[in-house]
């Protein structure tokens, strides 16, 4: 049990690191892109360009949350 916990902790630290928001932002962006692709409404060119822009936006939001002023 202790080994499993340590093993899980290692992979969490390795992949998620000290900011889970970035991993969540990437996963949500890719999920949105999959949904957009499966709708069949967009070409590959549109999907890739929108996807690239969405990743930039998702990162910006996660960073903005990080640095927002804390309420006292």
Partner 1 sequence: MDAATWGLIIATFVACFVEMVEATTIVMAMGYTRNWRSALIGTFAALGALAVVTLAAGYALANWLPESALQLAIGGLLLIFGLQWLRKAILRSSGRKAVHDEDAIYREEVEAAKAAGESKQGLDLFAFMVSFKGVFLEGMEVVFIVLTFGLNADNIPAASLGAAAAVVIVLGIAIALRRPLSMINENLLKYGVGLLLASFGTYWAIEGIGIFRDGRESLNWPGHDLMILVLLAAWLLLSRIFVAVLRKPAVPAPAISNPAGDIAVEVKK
By CB under 8 A, the residues from 4 to 63 that bind partner 1 are: 14-19, 22-23, 25-27, 30, 33-34, 37-38, 44-45, 47-49, 51-52, 55-56, 59-60, 62-63
What does the longest C-alpha to C-alpha distance in the chain come to? 49
Q: What gap in Å lies between CA 25 and CA 58, rounded to an integer?
A: 5
- The CA distance from 30 to 23, in Å, is 11
Q: Do 24 and 65 form a contact (C-beta atoms < 8 A)?
A: no
Interface size with partner 1, residues (CB under 8 A): 31
The residue ranges that bind partner 1 (CB under 8 A) are 14-19, 22-23, 25-27, 30, 33-34, 37-38, 44-45, 47-49, 51-52, 55-56, 59-60, 62-63, 66-67
């Amino acid at each position: 049990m202790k080994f499993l916990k340590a093993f899980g902790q290692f992979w969490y630290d390795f992949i998620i690191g000290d900011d889970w928001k970035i991993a969540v932002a990437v996963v949500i962006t890719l999920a949105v892109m999959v949904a957009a692709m499966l709708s069949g409404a967009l070409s590959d060119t549109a999907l890739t360009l929108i996807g690239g822009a969405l990743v930039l936006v998702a990162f910006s939001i996660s960073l903005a949350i990080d640095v927002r002023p804390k309420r006292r």
